[in-house]
Every structure is written in C-alpha cells, then in structure tokens.
Copies of this chain bind each other. A is one copy, B any other.
Amino acid sequence: MKIAEASRRFDLSADTLRYYERVGLIPTVNRTASGIREYSEEDCRWIGFIKCMRAAGLPIEVLIEYVSLFQKGDETTEARKALLVGQRDLLEARMVDMQGTLGRLNQKIERYEQLVVPAENDLK
C-alpha cells in the first residue's frame, strides 16, 4: 500500500505519515525500487497503535523511545513494559482528573438550566 492509501485508511495526512517515520515514531517503511514507500500490514499495525496512543495524549517522545526499544530486540522487553506501565498510570491519573472536570462542568450546566427554564416559563 502506498502513502495515499495509508493516509486514507488512517485519516492522517501523507505529510504526517512521513513525519512520523522521520522522527522514529514508526519503524522505517520499505521502499519500491524507485523509492516509493510500500506500507506492509505490520507498518499499518504500528500506525494504528501510534495513532491510538497519540489520540490519548501520550507524548511523541515517549512513543519514539518505545519504538527504539522495540528495535533493539528482546533484551528490552522489561524496559518496554515499564514504559507502558508508566504511561498507563499517567493516563489513568489524567482520566480521574477529567472525570472531576466533567462533574464540575455538569454542575455548571445544571445551574444554567435552572436559570434558563424559569425564563422560558415567563414567556408562556
């Protein structure tokens, strides 16, 4: 699959896919004889994984570190696991925070409803 199709499939611009590869967010993609990127299914799994992690807010730097560990082979499994555990814990913490914000937002919205509904009743 060439870059245009990968771009459609993951809804990421071709520029972004090239950028991800350039900075090491996904492993190097193989090329055809004339230098065109040919995305394999494994490449696609990486893209999917990275897109998902980025959407949840994991920093690029950390993901680059993960890919780099991955490419160093089996001696790095412990380090990779530790990295994932760390990021999971951060993610959970952020979700707790967001839950709090959500509650606060809902309270504020309720207070607006108590203001707006009586105003609407006045019109009747």
Residues of A within 8 A of B (CB): 49, 52-53, 55-57, 77-78, 80-81, 84-85, 87-88, 91-92, 94-95, 97-102, 104-106, 108-109, 112-113, 115-116
Contact = CB atoms under 8 A, between A and B. Distances in A.
Given A52-B104, A91-B101, A77 B116 contact: yes
In terms of DSSP, what is the predominant structure of the interface of chain A? helix
Question: In the complex this chain forms, how many copies of it are found?
Answer: 2
B106 A98 contact: no
Given A55-B101, A94-B98, 17 more contacts: A49-B104, A52-B101, A56-B101, A57-B57, A77-B115, A77-B116, A80-B112, A81-B109, A81-B113, A81-B116, A84-B108, A87-B105, A88-B109, A91-B101, A91-B102, A95-B95, A95-B102
Contacts of A101: 52-53, 55-56, 91
Contacts of A81: 109, 112-113, 116
